[in-house]
Structure 1
Amino acid sequence: MLLGACAGFVAIWVVLAWSTGSQCGWMALFGALDVAWILRLSGWRPGPLRAAVGIVATAAIVALANWMIIAVHMGEVMGFDPIDSALRLGFRHAWLVVQLANGGFELAMAALALLLAAIASR
């Protein structure tokens, strides 16, 4: 259930970022809340394990969303569909584009999202 929710949230984030032409770093906060909500709905017992899973899932959402946003934009330029572009995208190239595309606001939102995930998932 958590994996499906994370994949769905990444898809929404990527479509929103693609349509607006920005990174939409604020979506990380909603991703953290979505993870906390799904963990509660799926019956995870409260405690440090659920908080840790929430942090890891939120970090995965942020990383995968950034990867796919880059892949969509690169694929659009090179004529690839998003999945093909994501599979061809190298780690070093993605890391360079992430550093160029994400400013202080996006980094702050990602850090706040991890904190929010820890608190809301407890």
Structure 2
Amino acid sequence: MSPTQRSRSTLAIVVDGLLPALAWVAGVLGMVALWTAVSLALRSPSGWLALVAALDMVLLLRLAAMPAGPARAWAAVAGTALAIALGYWFHAAITMGVMLGLQPVESALRLGPVLAGELLRHTTSAWDIAWAVLALPLAWKLAR
């Protein structure tokens, strides 16, 4: 193998892995931003957005040309789970931040896990939890 072929193949591997990774990060951050905006506008946890997070993650990974299979399925499930967790975290931060006059990001940085858990326990319904639970197998199924 000549040096140009070796460098080309290494470059292709880096590029092929970089685009799906960037799509994954963009999917998580974009969904958290959307979840925060909807949660702020509706003043509810908006658990139905978990399904949107699953669809968004699957679509972005497919558009980034990540090969089908278990790796893409696990990436979709992990991205969906992280988006759900951060979405609920920011909802709790918004709930507390509105009372204290803090911005969502500032409140999210100051919020502790116990207070976030209590705020979520009081604001989420069984439907919100059901949407989050259904989103993970949906991401797995659609990403394979």
Structure 1: gaps of 5 or more residues:
none
| Whole-angstrom CA distance in 1 between matches of 2:58 and 2:102 | 34
Q: What amino acid does structure 1 have at the position aligned with 2:127?
A: F
Q: CA deviation at 1:5?
A: 2.1
**Structure index of larger Rg:** 2
Q: CA deviation at 1:103?
A: 1.6
Aligned to 1:20: 42
| Whole-angstrom CA distance in 2 between matches of 1:105 and 1:22 | 12
Q: Is the 8 A contact 2:28 2:57 kept in 1?
A: yes
Aligned to 1:46: 68
| Whole-angstrom CA distance in 1 between matches of 2:27 and 2:67 | 18
Note if 1:81 corresponds to 2:103: yes
Name the structure, 1 or 2, with higher relative contact order (CA <8 Å, separation 6+): 1
Q: What amino acid does structure 2 have at the position aligned with 1:86?
A: A
Q: If the length of structure 2 is used for normalisation, what is the TM-score?
A: 0.81
Q: What amino acid does structure 2 have at the position aligned with 1:110?
A: A
| Whole-angstrom CA distance in 2 between matches of 1:5 and 1:59 | 12
**What count of residue pairs does the alignment treat as equivalent?**
122
| Whole-angstrom CA distance in 1 between matches of 2:109 and 2:43 | 22
Q: CA deviation at 1:47?
A: 0.6
Q: If the length of structure 1 is used for normalisation, what is the TM-score?
A: 0.94
Q: How does 1:103-114 map to 2 (within 5 A)?
A: 103-114=125-136
Note if 1:64 corresponds to 2:73: no
Partner-residue secondary structure (3-state), 2:114: helix
Aligned to 2:124: 102
Q: Deviations over 1:51-72 (max 9, x none)?
A: 1111111010100000011112
Q: CA deviation at 1:14?
A: 1.3
Structure 2: gaps of 5 or more residues:
1-22
